[in-house]
Amino acid sequence: MLVKNSIVLKIESTYRALTKSERKVADVILDNPNEIIYLSISDLAMKSGVAETTVVRFCRRIGYSGFQDFKLNLAQELVEPEKSIHESISFDDSTEEVIQKLTYENIAVLNNTAQLLDKKVLENVIQLIIDARRVDFYGVGASGFTALDAKYKFMRLGLQVDANLDPHIQAISAANLGPGDVAIGISYSGSNKDTIATCQTAKQSGATVISITNYAQSPITKVSDYVLLTSAKETPLRSGALTSKIAQLHVLDILYTATAIRLKEKALASLNRTANAVLDKLY
């Protein structure tokens, strides 16, 4: 006899009470629950042929506060306890197996992200960064530290860049942008409310908004002029996983290097100046 998890049983028990639209969401989940933990709310809505608000309504109908709460509980049930620290690794793995598995996974993330990148969009973004009066990077949580890393990289090219971890400071910064400025929002899910709000403020201020996200139909893409996609798998149990950060850093490194090549002598002169500025910090 097949033992079903409690969430599947809960959906089945309330199925008849669901609206027609909510049943569409239920059908997609019941058909392949293992896939759901890797989807954004936008992806699930699109697969179900309903609005995102219907997905939220469905989750509340079966006892969860929203989609993220539902997905977290689903992930906890689907991922075996011995693999909960990392879906591809068990506690029985040797150090050598950990090395091999993570190396393979990270290489796959880099290759998949490279294939997803739209070269035409990338070219446009590079030129926008070069021409910008100012470039602001936005992100919170793990993506916030990615934004700080981007600031450090592009500062060395002599560009006027900034990044802050505090959403309030980000909002103030975005409000002071204007036409000719560039705002780059970094969010794996593309659904982070703070990052989306900051990008919206930047757009209203007249700046060009670029997003780096894993999901093509996520909310952040709706306020973006250009979207650069990454390809990494992350579940609620591995929020902020290094694989997603590696994908983001890969895109930013490509942007940085391509920008430096375009700037040529200007970039080289700036790199030399910044290297000399910190020379006495080393033994």
Q: Which amino acid is at 267?
A: A
pLDDT at 1: 36
How, if at all, do strands 135-138 and 161-164 pair?
parallel
Kindly list the averaged pLDDT for each block of 10 residues, start to end, along the chain of length 283: 63 86 93 85 91 93 90 77 55 86 87 91 97 97 94 94 95 97 95 95 98 89 95 64 87 96 91 87 79
For residue range 127-138, what is the model confidence (pLDDT) as tens digits? 999 999 999 999
Cα torsion at 121, 40, 58, 6 (round to 10°)? Answer: 160
Q: What number of residues does the chain have?
A: 283
* Chain centroid to CA 168: 20
C-beta pairs of 13-22 under 8 Å, 24+ apart in sequence? 14/61, 14/62, 17/61, 18/58, 18/61, 21/50, 21/51, 21/54, 22/50, 22/54, 22/57, 22/58, 22/61
pLDDT at 5: 61
The correct answer on CATH 3.40.50.10490 for the domain covering 101-281 is yes
Name residues whose C-beta falls within 8 Å of residue 202's C-beta, 6 or more positions apart in sequence. Answer: 136, 138, 174, 177, 181, 183, 209
pLDDT at 238: 55
Q: Are 35 and 75 in contact (CB under 8 A)?
A: no
Question: What are the extents of the domains in the chain?
Answer: 6-78, 101-281
Paired tokens of 208: 């060009």
CA distance 28 to 34: 11
Q: How much is the pTM?
A: 0.77
Fold of the domain built from segment(s) 6-78? Arc Repressor Mutant, subunit A (1.10.10)
CA distance 172 to 177: 9
CA distance 138 to 153: 15
Q: Which amino acid is at 131?
A: D
Name residues whose C-beta falls within 8 Å of residue 272's C-beta, 6 or more positions apart in sequence. Answer: none
pLDDT at 239: 53
